[in-house]
Amino acid sequence: MNARWKPNVTVASVVERRGKFLLVEEHTADGLRLNNPAGHLDPGESLVEACVRETLEETAYHFQPTALVGVYLSRASGPTRADGRQTSVTYLRFAFCGDLGEFLPGQRLDHGIVRTLWLSADEIRASAPRHRTPVLLQCIEDYLVDARFPLDLLRADLGSITLT
């Protein structure tokens, strides 16, 4: 039986304060890279809950999403298989903007996160070779042109169902 293909669902926050955007610098297989605060959707949580959790874990800031900036589908190269074929990983990213809350000094950051940075849009554009994903810049550009969709666009029914 073939395994069913499923994209990895991720969330990201686009946080702007006084013309600068909150990013994280993190260790990856390709070295230190920049990214929006972002991470995977965990079982049993809504997209908004995942964004709140991931932003806190990666930046030590509370964050309350107020709008959806966009939904992004991207593919990254994965490991090479034993038969020599290149694999890939597909990501479905939901990016949110919102209100940045309290900073928690002493909060330990997620594994792999080196530090947080505040960069202008021009600094982010100039650092493109260091981006973990091209979607980072696209989220910023969409935010800058006021791409905003209401959160009630997203529906979550997290009750249990029986799969047959």
Would you say residue 3 lies in a domain? no
Would you say residue 2 lies in a domain? no
Question: For residue 12, what are the domain limits?
Answer: 8-153
Element (H, E) at 163: none
Helix, strand, coil fractions of the chain, as percent rounded to 5: 20, 45, 35
Amino acid making up residue 37: P
Q: Is the pLDDT of residue 39 over 80?
A: yes
Q: What confidence score (pLDDT) does residue 1 get?
A: 47
Ranking 58-72, 92-106, 149-163 by mean pLDDT, the lowest is 149-163
CATH code of the domain covering residue 59: 3.90.79.10
Q: pLDDT for 122-139, tens place per residue?
A: 999 999 999 999 999 999
Q: What confidence score (pLDDT) does residue 163 get?
A: 55
**Pairing of β 20-28 and β 16-17:** antiparallel
DSSP H helical ranges for 43-118 = 47-59
Q: How far is CA 46 from CA 8, 43, 73, 150, 155, in A?
A: 15, 9, 19, 15, 9
Q: What confidence score (pLDDT) does residue 162 get?
A: 58
Would you say residue 161 lies in a domain? no
Question: Which residues is 115 bridged to in the sheet?
Answer: 25
Ranking 48-52, 86-90, 122-126, 136-140 by mean pLDDT, the lowest is 86-90
Q: What confidence score (pLDDT) does residue 161 get?
A: 55
In angstroms, the CA 74 to CA 20 distance is: 25
- The number of distinct structural domains making up the chain is 1
Would you say residue 25 lies in a domain? yes
Would you say residue 26 lies in a domain? yes
Would you say residue 163 lies in a domain? no
Would you say residue 15 lies in a domain? yes
Would you say residue 162 lies in a domain? no
Neighbours of 110 (CB within 10 A): 15
